[in-house]
Chains A and B, each alone.
Chain A
Amino acid sequence: MTEYTLKELMTLMAAREIRDGDIVFCGTGISMVAAMAAKYINAPNSIIFFETGAIDSKLEEIPMAVADPRVMFGAASNSGLLDAFATMQNRITGDHVIGILGAAQVDKYGNLNSTCIGDYSKPKTRFSGSGGACDVASFVPRCLIFMQHEKRKFPIKIDYLTSPGYLDGPGARERAGLMSGGPTAVITNLGVMYFDSETKEMYLAYYYPGVTPQKILDNMEFSVDISRAAEAAPPSEQELQILRERVDPYKLIL
Chain B
Amino acid sequence: MNLNQEKVMTLDKAIGMYVTDGCHISIGGFTVSRNPMAAVFEIMRQKKKNLHCYAHSNGTGVDELIGGGCLSKLEIAYGGNGKAAPTCIRFKSAIQRGDLLFEDYSNYQMSLRFHAGAMGIPFMATRSGLGTDIVNKWGFSKEMRGKDPKLPDKKIEIIDNPFPNWGNASRVVLVPAINPDVTIIHVQKADKYGTCRIEGLTFADADQVKASKHVIITCEEIVETDTLREKPEYNQIPFIHVSAVVHVPYGAYPSACYNYYDYDPQMLSHVSKFAKDDDLYQKYLEKFVYGVKDHQELLKLMGKDQLAKISADRRTGYATGLDRR
Identify the A interface with B (CB < 8 A): 28-29, 51-54, 60-61, 64-73, 78-82, 85, 89, 91, 115-116, 120-135, 138-139, 160-164, 167, 172-173, 176-179, 250-252
Does B239 count as interface, using CB distance less than 8 angstroms? no
Q: Point out the residues of chain A lying under 8 angstroms from B202, CB to CB.
A: 53, 78-80
- 24 A/B residue pairs, CB under 8 Å, sorted by A: A52-B30, A53-B203, A60-B316, A64-B32, A67-B57, A68-B263, A68-B318, A69-B318, A70-B316, A80-B204, A80-B205, A82-B108, A82-B111, A123-B95, A126-B96, A129-B79, A130-B78, A131-B80, A135-B128, A135-B129, A138-B127, A138-B132, A162-B132, A177-B131
User: Which residue of B31, B168, B207 contacts A66 across the interface (Cβ within 8 Å)?
Assistant: B31
Q: Point out the residues of chain B lying under 8 angstroms from A116, CB to CB.
A: 95
Known: A81-B108, A129-B79, A129-B104. A67 touches B127 (CB 8 A): no
User: Which residue of B79, B91, B109, B128 contacts A139 across the interface (Cβ within 8 Å)?
Assistant: B128
Identify the B interface with A (CB < 8 A): 29-34, 56-57, 59, 76-83, 86-88, 91-92, 95-96, 98, 104-109, 111-112, 115, 126-134, 136-137, 139, 158, 168-172, 200-207, 256, 258, 262-263, 265, 312, 316-318, 320-321, 324-325
Contact, CB under 8 Å: B170 / A177: yes
Contact, CB under 8 Å: A115 / B133: yes
**Distance from A139 Cβ to chain B, minimum over Cβ atoms (Å):** 7
Contact, CB under 8 Å: B128 / A128: no
Known: A135-B106, A162-B132. A69 touches B258 (CB 8 A): yes
**CA of A53 to CA of B107, assembled, Å:** 12
Contact, CB under 8 Å: B317 / A73: yes
Q: Point out the residues of chain B lying under 8 angstroms from A124, CB to CB.
A: 96
Q: Point out the residues of chain B lying under 8 angstroms from A164, CB to CB.
A: 130-132
Task: Please give me the 6 A-B residue pairs with the lowest Cβ-Cβ distance, nearest first.
Answer: A177-B171, A131-B78, A65-B82, A128-B80, A176-B131, A67-B30
Q: Point out the residues of chain A lying under 8 angstroms from B130, CB to CB.
A: 138, 164, 176-178
Contact, CB under 8 Å: A115 / B32: no
Q: Point out the residues of chain B lying under 8 angstroms from A138, CB to CB.
A: 127-130, 132
**Distance from A216 Cβ to chain B, minimum over Cβ atoms (Å):** 25
**CA of A115 to CA of B316, assembled, Å:** 35
Q: Which residue of B lies closest to A168 (CB)?
A: B131
Contact, CB under 8 Å: A65 / B32: yes
Contact, CB under 8 Å: A129 / B83: no
Contact, CB under 8 Å: B320 / A61: yes
Known: A69-B317, A70-B318, A73-B316. A160 touches B203 (CB 8 A): no
User: Which residue of A67, A71, A126 contacts B92 across the interface (Cβ within 8 Å)?
Assistant: A126
Instruction: Identify whether the interface residues of A are mostly helix, strand, loop, or mixed.
Output: loop
Contact, CB under 8 Å: B87 / A127: yes
Contact, CB under 8 Å: A178 / B82: no
**CA of A151 to CA of B227, assembled, Å:** 60
**Distance from A127 Cβ to chain B, minimum over Cβ atoms (Å):** 5
**Distance from B151 Cβ to chain A, minimum over Cβ atoms (Å):** 16
**Distance from B191 Cβ to chain A, minimum over Cβ atoms (Å):** 22
**Distance from A205 Cβ to chain B, minimum over Cβ atoms (Å):** 25
Known: A52-B201, A78-B201, A80-B205. A135 touches B79 (CB 8 A): no
Known: A65-B32, A162-B134. A128 touches B88 (CB 8 A): yes
A28-B82, A69-B262 known; 20 new pairs, CB 8 Å cut-off, are: A52-B201, A60-B316, A61-B321, A68-B318, A69-B263, A79-B202, A81-B111, A85-B111, A89-B127, A121-B139, A129-B76, A132-B77, A134-B128, A134-B129, A135-B126, A164-B130, A167-B131, A176-B130, A177-B131, A179-B127
**CA of A232 to CA of B316, assembled, Å:** 39
Contact, CB under 8 Å: B32 / A129: no
Contact, CB under 8 Å: A69 / B256: yes
**Distance from B157 Cβ to chain A, minimum over Cβ atoms (Å):** 13
Known: A52-B30, A64-B83, A163-B132. A130 touches B77 (CB 8 A): yes
Contact, CB under 8 Å: B131 / A178: yes
**CA of A81 to CA of B87, assembled, Å:** 20
**Distance from B55 Cβ to chain A, minimum over Cβ atoms (Å):** 10
Q: Point out the residues of chain A lying under 8 angstroms from B31, CB to CB.
A: 65-67
Q: Which residue of B lies closest to A102 (CB)?
A: B86
**Distance from A57 Cβ to chain B, minimum over Cβ atoms (Å):** 10
**CA of A66 to CA of B32, assembled, Å:** 9
Contact, CB under 8 Å: B107 / A81: yes
**CA of A125 to CA of B111, assembled, Å:** 26
**Distance from B215 Cβ to chain A, minimum over Cβ atoms (Å):** 17
Q: Which residue of A lies closest to B206 (CB)?
A: A80
Residue of A65, A66, A164, A173 with highest tally of chain B CB at under 10 A: A65
Contact, CB under 8 Å: A125 / B96: yes
**CA of A134 to CA of B57, assembled, Å:** 14
**Distance from A134 Cβ to chain B, minimum over Cβ atoms (Å):** 4
**CA of A143 to CA of B129, assembled, Å:** 16
